[in-house]
Amino acid sequence: MARKSTEERRKEITEGLLEAMAEHGYAGASIKRIAARAGLTPGLIHYHFDTKQAILLALLKRLFVPQIQVLRSLADEANSAEQALESVLEALLSTGDSADPKAVAAWVTIGTEAIREPEINEAYSQALLEIEALFESIVERGVDSGEFDAGELSNRACAAALLAVVEGYFTVAATCREAIPQGTAAQAALRMAKGLLQR
Amino acid sequence: MARKSTEERRKEITEGLLEAMAEHGYAGASIKRIAARAGLTPGLIHYHFDTKQAILLALLKRLFVPQIQVLRSLADEANSAEQALESVLEALLSTGDSADPKAVAAWVTIGTEAIREPEINEAYSQALLEIEALFESIVERGVDSGEFDAGELSNRACAAALLAVVEGYFTVAATCREAIPQGTAAQAALRMAKGLLQR
Amino acid sequence: MARKSTEERRKEITEGLLEAMAEHGYAGASIKRIAARAGLTPGLIHYHFDTKQAILLALLKRLFVPQIQVLRSLADEANSAEQALESVLEALLSTGDSADPKAVAAWVTIGTEAIREPEINEAYSQALLEIEALFESIVERGVDSGEFDAGELSNRACAAALLAVVEGYFTVAATCREAIPQGTAAQAALRMAKGLLQR
Amino acid sequence: MARKSTEERRKEITEGLLEAMAEHGYAGASIKRIAARAGLTPGLIHYHFDTKQAILLALLKRLFVPQIQVLRSLADEANSAEQALESVLEALLSTGDSADPKAVAAWVTIGTEAIREPEINEAYSQALLEIEALFESIVERGVDSGEFDAGELSNRACAAALLAVVEGYFTVAATCREAIPQGTAAQAALRMAKGLLQR
DNA sequence: TATGAATGAGCGTTCATTCAT
DNA sequence: AATGAATGAACGCTCATTCAT
């Protein structure tokens, strides 16, 4: 086995978990399977990660961090709150609707682990809260500019609703793709968002 | 141990799975733990269920069937499509928002198992499709009566969006309750639904 | 595999540990080896014992409890403190000197585990303290009757010294039998004991 | 890392084993832990020692050789056999009673490894036999000078008894310090030795 | 000398399932 | 209908040792 740096190996291993998890779930993604997917020997996994959970946390980070950065850029570059909303939902849901199914399945699976593993919960909750905060900033911008009106709801409650829409499309896409008419997720979400925030 | 009918035992066992799953996830809900929660001996579990997966399917049914019946009644009894929408969302999301967290966690967990277990997927997908069909019938009723206008979206796409909202609130509630301002889920969902379907 | 009660199995398993430990030490006495010695399958070990350490504790008890009972009887039945001392040392050291080498090796091995495992330490310490207490009661009896005189030492310090003699013979017997001229342990120990306690 | 001579490194490594063993026992003293305690990298350990067992042998030597030399000097410098006995027991048991607990624990731990590892057994046995020989020479000197009388026991049997006392105090001190009233070990041992050898 | 990635066997433990009672 | 002992495979993880660098 050619020697590589820990950073390279860690990337390969999280990728191995992604693939193993898509096929077998988290519990079924055994160290042996992760290793096989990554083309490594099982013993090496624990040289680079202390625990299996640590791999999951690394995968969560790898899925989330680039995504949230893209979303923030899109929001920043938009000329209006409405445009920001549109491009963020588009970015999230053309993924949720049609793009990398493995990543979506992994995201949903991580969410389920987060229900009862405190450390996973902390990281996953933080991710959800960052997405929510992004939505809230867009809502606030729209309210300030007069584009939006949250009615009786707080900006935060609106942001939570938008977060729920996105997470919900992920869940449905991962479990019952046929329930979502192809290509309608982003459009329907945007329509709901505008309805939620209309003057 | 006094002998009980198979039906009573099956109910106790699915309840045991619900509780064990809330604490340990599906993989962690061992037969031993399920038995302990149900106050039974491990050997008895396999007398009433062939496999662990069969218990999960029974739990899914137990969670879903009464719920969909209630929802259908609410929709039928409503005087308008809008009122049907309101009472259905209210029924689903006052649950998703504040009611039995164990049931919500179990539902989300079952969804994740459905990603890769064909038999679970079939049952879970059918459940989602039934909820979607209910939403679609409400949308159709509203469109027919002139209350709603789905715009460029098909009735089905609108129903899928409403399904996503509900599932999304469940997921977020199960993993990061603090992300949802208390008591706003049903109201925000209704606002989105009306925006989605406004004339 | 014929079905037996837990109590029978637990006895077989502690016996398996005794034998595996004599040959491989505690760390080397793997569950697999214990099972093989006991003629059981590995999975069954953990049905009857929660942890490997629990087996060690059970073995400690099995080695110690009958022994201390015998010693107490011997002391009680003796007509004088001197005779009590003689029969107790004889009982301990004809064992330590020549009898079941596996049991002696196991005892010494358990002692070493007791250095750093708190639960083992508690049980092993209690065993040592019970032996010491027995010696102390004999010393006290002798002092009271005028047979013995502990000089500047407390009765307890004398008991500790006697305990050390016994434990020391065990250790030397387990590691370097040739260092002890055969059949001299009990006699030499008694001579030392009398010297320690002479008027 | 500045390069150091092999001899210095070997000393650091045996010291690392001593500390790791005090906390985790021999089996639990992994190369990684030894390296960490010694402030070295794991790979380097096997540059200086072929096997883990070789480190244990080196540690045994490091603990034993300086000690036996001191003891021999003390015996040589004494004006009488009795004085020799007194200073040797004092040197051994003010250690066993109160001094470096890590070294005592390590000594006892090495003894247990010696039960079943032939190479360790050889080295440990030799150490015990050298201590015994020292005691035997003191006994012989006393018998020759008329200070001592071994009675029916051989000089060797007396030496073995003294060895047992010392080893026993080590064991008890390592496992159940509270069993030994502080500061009494050397005094009680000497009283026993004199009793053993009295005219 | 020194590093730390890599190996593969083995560890204690858990598990769904079976089945004699 | 019920018990709980029994099975054997698989689990996450640790390990002494090797070796390319």
Q: What is the pLDDT of residues B79-88, one digit of tens each?
A: 999 999 999 9
Among residues A11, A29, A32, the alpha carbon closest in space to that of A20 is found at A29
Question: In Å, how far are A11, A42, A53, A118, D36 from A7, measured between CA atoms?
Answer: 6, 17, 17, 26, 22
> If you write DSSP's letter for every residue of C22-87 in order, what string do you get?
HHHHHHHS-HHHHHHHHT--HHHHHHH-SSHHHHHHHHHHHHHHHHHHHHHHHHHH-SSHHHHHHH
What pLDDT score does C131 carry? 98
Q: What is the CB neighbour count within 10 angstroms for residue B58?
A: 18
Nearest protein residue, CA measured to C1' of E1? D3
Tens of pLDDT, residue by residue over C11-47, are 999 999 999 999 999 999 999 999 999 999 999 999 9
Q: Where in the sequence of chain B do the CATH 1.10.357.10 domains occur?
A: 59-197
Q: What is the CB neighbour count within 10 angstroms for residue C121?
A: 16
Closest nucleotide (C1' vs CA) to C28 is E11
A78, A84 contact by CB (below 8 A): yes
User: Which pLDDT tens digits describe chain A residue by residue (199 residues)?
Assistant: 567 788 899 999 999 999 999 999 999 999 999 999 999 999 999 999 999 999 999 999 999 999 999 999 999 999 999 999 999 999 999 865 557 899 999 999 999 999 999 999 999 999 999 999 999 999 999 999 999 999 999 999 999 999 999 999 999 999 999 999 999 999 999 999 999 998 7
Q: What is the CATH number of domain A59-197?
A: 1.10.357.10
Quote the CA–CA distance of D17 and D25 in Å, as a whole number: 9
Closest nucleotide (C1' vs CA) to C48 is F5
Class level of CATH domain C60-197: mainly alpha
Q: How far is the CA of C82 from the C1' of F10 (A)?
A: 61
Quote the CA–CA distance of C87 and D82 in Å, as a whole number: 30
Quote the CA–CA distance of A158 and A139 in Å, as a whole number: 8
Tens of pLDDT, residue by residue over D124-139, are 999 999 999 999 999 9
Hey, are the CB atoms on A167 and B166 less than 8 Å from each other? no
Q: What is the CB neighbour count within 10 angstroms for residue C53?
A: 14
Q: Dihedral, CA atoms, D36, D41, D42, D45, nearest 10 degrees?
A: -100
Tokens (6 digits) for B3: 């002998």
Q: How far is the CA of A8 from the C1' of F20 (A)?
A: 17
Q: Where in the sequence of chain D do the CATH 1.10.10.60 domains occur?
A: 1-49
Flag whether pLDDT at B119 surpasses 60.
yes
Flag whether pLDDT at D2 surpasses 70.
no
All partners of chain C with 3 or more CB pairs under 8 angstroms: D
Q: Which fold has domain D53-197?
A: Tetracycline Repressor; domain 2 (1.10.357)
Nearest chain C CA: its distance from D68 CA (Å): 17
Q: Where in the sequence of chain C do the CATH 1.10.357.10 domains occur?
A: 60-197
Hey, are the CB atoms on B192 and A193 less than 8 Å from each other? yes
Hey, are the CB atoms on B157 and A184 less than 8 Å from each other? yes
All partners of chain A with 3 or more CB pairs under 8 angstroms: B
Best CATH choice for the domain D1-49 from the list 3.30.9.10, 3.40.366.30, 1.10.10.60, 3.30.565.10: 1.10.10.60
Chain B residue closest in CA terms to A24: B116
Tokens (6 digits) for B35: 């038995």
Point out the residue among D115, D153, D168 whose CB comes nearest to the CB of C188: D153
In sequence order, what are the residues at sequence separation of 6 or more whose Cβ sits closer than 8 angstroms to the Cβ of residue A111? A124, A167, B108, B112, B171, B174, B175
- Determine whether the distance from the CB of B51 to the nearest atom of strand E is below 7 Å: yes
Nearest protein residue, CA measured to C1' of F9? C43
Contacts of C193 in chain D (CB under 8 A): 192, 195
Mean pLDDT by 10 residues, chain C (199 residues): 80 97 96 97 96 98 97 97 97 76 96 97 98 98 96 96 98 97 95 92
Quote the CA–CA distance of B52 and B27 in Å, as a whole number: 10
Q: How far is the CA of B124 from the C1' of E21 (A)?
A: 40
Hey, are the CB atoms on D181 and C156 less than 8 Å from each other? yes
Q: Dihedral, CA atoms, A65, A68, A72, A73, nearest 10 degrees?
A: 60
Q: How far is the CA of B29 from the C1' of F1 (A)?
A: 24
- Determine whether the distance from the CB of A48 to the nearest atom of strand E is below 7 Å: yes
Q: Where are the alpha helices (H) located in A78-148, listed in sequence order?
A: 81-97, 101-114, 118-145
